[in-house]
Structure 1
């Protein structure tokens, strides 16, 4: 089996799984309990929080645990909206956001908030001047992903942060779910960023766990009310085993970061070079200013799901667009925002690599690709 769908989810690291199992079986106390078992659980909870904070170069009281990226995005958009609605109801998101942001913003629009989309260029990068033109006195939030999940475009977070430097009343949120382990932490965890969303299963951690960075002093209306966990920000019994495993996964992912990303970059470059030689192949991702792991392409005249299933017959796993929308057989939202023609957008498939992949897998993929490509040429005419 060759797994090239790592942007959808990654395999849990064996050491991470061991941590999860050890905590789940040996530390049975609830962190909210007053007895010694509860105190032991609390110490591990806070140690995990500190480790994550140190790895991201922030303070431990700025890290809040969630169930993953979708909850984190929902929490920020709804939490900021309802916290700041007396100051304004205008929200800006990019036109290429993940459904967790885009659909949450659409729901807020039904609740009386005004949402505008910052456009992107033909490569999928947010147009910062156009975003600036959308800003108004009643703008309360700007939300832009760090790395696009469909084509891998690394968004101009530093430029947007600079734009918002003299606008402290506007909250700045980044969806960093696809960024960890792909681009340097210092490239997106900037001083001007107020909120950042993370999901453990994107970096070899367990599913159903994530965390949210909330800059000190920034207010966020809770989504969940109850027992007052997470400093009264998110009430529910903490998933201690998952949280400890997430801290371990983050540490392992950021170890030897440059070496890992260079390996992935080289694999992508080999695939890119081969695909670029084919007349009927359209490349939607590039190398420069794009994540090193994501390469999205299409074969003219062939729907993406046909290509995905053709590879699957050889136990090679890629995807159409994002995992959250791939089963809908719809054109990638990012490609549509890039003004790619619908018939070409529906041809898109995504390869997403990981440092656990290797060149032998790349060579095997390309061998199968050449065969599939010739078959598809016959079908497409």
Structure 2
């Protein structure tokens, strides 16, 4: 099967349905990704990780013609979906047939070493930043998110370090000419949300719902600023009404500009998913109504998934700010694909749960997915 280069959320969902139906054999992965400005590439990372954990073997086909095709290899490795696809595949061939497994893995590991260093921005192109963990490769402790404790054991950093990281994210993504579009208090809110969400990947995203270690364990963070012309918004939305409705309200960041500036922040893992993690039971033993109830509980304040739920203060704080700033949230976990168009919600008491709506027909078939993906969107200058 050829993976679509139009990396919309809708295309990712179509790929997941094919994966569930068992119609995906070898997977041909594109070098470039187009129309991915609304969390589409992160959705494909989750989808490809799901495929790699179910396929036996997971065989990837690259457009590179051979080990000397440095241009295609560099392009594939430089993209988030390419880096993840390479490092979760069991084998990789070129479009002409020669095996490229070792060549592409080494190129991917070289880039990963930069992303996991103290200067991950050196491994990213343009206004974006990504931090990835590959637990099955013992690449689990990027410097941005981990530090040794008193005994020298690497642990997830504390909240102040994530606040500093959030400031660096904003610095990398948003030029000073657009800084007025950053809400007051957003840096600390983002730091709190990232700390909470990533810590949950450490505590709950490194095992399956049966407690086993997944064959391919991917955890990470992706942030990007997209400059989008209004004419491209319908293509980005594809046939997804939640995006069509949301995009219809977006306007250029500055008077006289035609481009809409959209910030995308995603956190993902390949663990058991929120409902299984919260309940301590396999997803197969949870019906969809209970799964929805469990996921909804995860958005409460002053609670922890380590005991009964997933959200402390970080996620509710950033949700409050997104309500004020015409933000959008998408959540993909287990058999649920949910969204919240936060810009339409009235100002509420801190910690009030967002309206979580079904991405598509609630009675329709949603393919199960590995782990959990949070994507937050907010426009600048609105």
- Answer yes or no: same fold by TM over 0.5: no
Which structure has greater strand proportion? Answer: 2
Report the TM-score, using the length of structure 2 for normalisation. Answer: 0.28
Query: Could you say which structure has the greater relative contact order, defined with CA pairs below 8 angstroms and 6 or more residues apart?
Result: 1
Answer with 1 or 2: which has the greater Rg. Answer: 1
